[in-house]
Structure 1
Amino acid sequence: MAGAFKASAEVLLAAEKDSVSHRELPTCFLLRHATELFLKSALVVAHRAFVSTGADFPAVSVGGKSKAMTHVHGVGALYAALVAVLNEHQAELEKRARTAWLPMPEELNKAIRDIEAMDERGVFFRYPTERNEAKSVNKPMTAQELTGWDSDQRGALKALVMLNNDDEIVGAYRYDPNLLTEELATLQSACDWLNSIHVGLRIELAGGR
């Protein structure tokens, strides 16, 4: 299922820049959800390989409290749980696997931290009203910013300008074509790493199941 969300995001990313209106937000949502599902899959594989509790799914520590994995959506807590299981059973992991799984790559560590910072509750990319300004291609700007825009240094300005009856500027919104660029790059990085980790652990610890 995680692969389907990732593949759907890649279809949107492959489209021409302006062919799909506001494509960045749903693309981020798809990648964010794929990241969570890859993490949960890898955690279940590691749990079943090393932990004999009789439970199908592991518990995850969130804020010092143990919660069922199915009720946890924060990638930070899920990632911490995965790393903890692998570290706790590192000796057995090294015996059973050919891959040097630990330590985790710093690029992935950073991506998880960044995702957690932008979307701790797992709803930022899901609901358009959550911190809406950050997710809109229309960025508010003041009249001073509008009149002082330097197109030679900053490029052409595309904006919606609202005037009163005296032709005075009362509101302006700049169109930003590079919405969520950094967030997309971070999510793509995390998703690619976790896809590989989830597949690798399944092959080496669960016979590909």
Structure 2
Amino acid sequence: MNYLITPPNTHYDGGLGITACNFSQAADSLREVKNLMIGILPTCYLQRHAIELFLKSLIVILHKKYGLTYGQGFSQEKPAIKVNTKWVPLSNTHNLLDLFNYFQEIFIPLIPELPSRTDWSLEPGIESKIKLISGSDPKSTYFRYPESTNSVQDSKKSSIQPETMESILGKFKAKKEFVKCTLLLDENDNLVQAYSLDHPPIPNTLAALKYLSEYFYNMHAAFRSEITKGF
């Protein structure tokens, strides 16, 4: 795999794929760190950006390898994707669903021409996972900022969530183990607010990000091995 040991600017896809690998591997490393202060957003962002770059890499590879033309004003040096009927510069595109839809549009008709020893069929459920992530993060801002475009969705990103004292005590009695929480008291030691510190944030999104990051990591490796011959 020459692309693993050569400069990104010399790669078949201009370095998009290896950069995606770097983000994906960084997310894997960060996920292993058990530190409450880190939170989930950095890992989510790394995985989400890896998925974006993997899709861009696959699109560029297919255009270059199979001589697919871009719209007017675009080329191999200035790639783009078609969103509905409009061509949009690849560098300005961050919507995962737009990228995936265009990838499918050019990829599926080419499957009969791809090396036959690899199963190129897309896993069922990939599109629904893409839609889940893209629905809450269409512009790649949801995991980068505490506030994006939807206050309800933003409130779900943190593992620190308001909870009643009765609920916290109920968990303690049920689990028979320590419960992580914050209790805010007034000057008379009356409870003002309680927060759970280990509330599972956006579990479906977390699972989708992990799955897709691994899925496109593997698909990208197949592209580099079978289609670009390691370059």
TM-score, normalised with respect to structure 2: 0.75
- Superimposed CA distance per residue, residues 122-168 of structure 1 (whole angstroms, 9 cap, x where no aligned partner): 11111123354222232123xxx223541333665432222334444
The answer for the alignment partner of 1:55 in structure 2 is: 75
- Superimposed CA distance per residue, residues 166-199 of structure 1 (whole angstroms, 9 cap, x where no aligned partner): 4443322221254444433221110111011112
Residue aligned with 1:67, SS: strand
* Aligned counterparts of 2:119 and 2:183: Cα–Cα separation in 1: 57
The answer for the alignment partner of 2:47 in structure 1 is: 31
The answer for the alignment partner of 2:213 in structure 1 is: 191
Moved over 4 A (4+): none
The answer for the alignment partner of 1:44 in structure 2 is: 60
Which 5+ residue runs of structure 2 have no aligned equivalent?
1-18
CA contact (8 A) 2:158 2:201 kept: yes
> How do 1:20-169 and structure 2 match up within 5 A?
21-50=37-66, 51-53=68-70, 55-56=75-76, 57-62=78-83, 64-93=85-114, 96-102=115-121, 104-130=122-148, 131=151, 132-141=154-163, 145-149=164-168, 150=170, 151-153=172-174, 156-169=178-191
Q: How many residue pairs were aligned?
A: 201
Summarize the Cα distance change of 1:192–1:148 in structure 2 as closer, same or farther, 3 Å threshold. Answer: closer
Which 5+ residue runs of structure 1 have no aligned equivalent?
none
Summarize the Cα distance change of 1:97–1:178 in structure 2 as closer, same or farther, 3 Å threshold. Answer: same
CA contact (8 A) 1:42 1:202 kept: no
Q: CA RMSD in A?
A: 2.5
Indicate the percent of aligned positions where both proteins have the same amino acid: 28
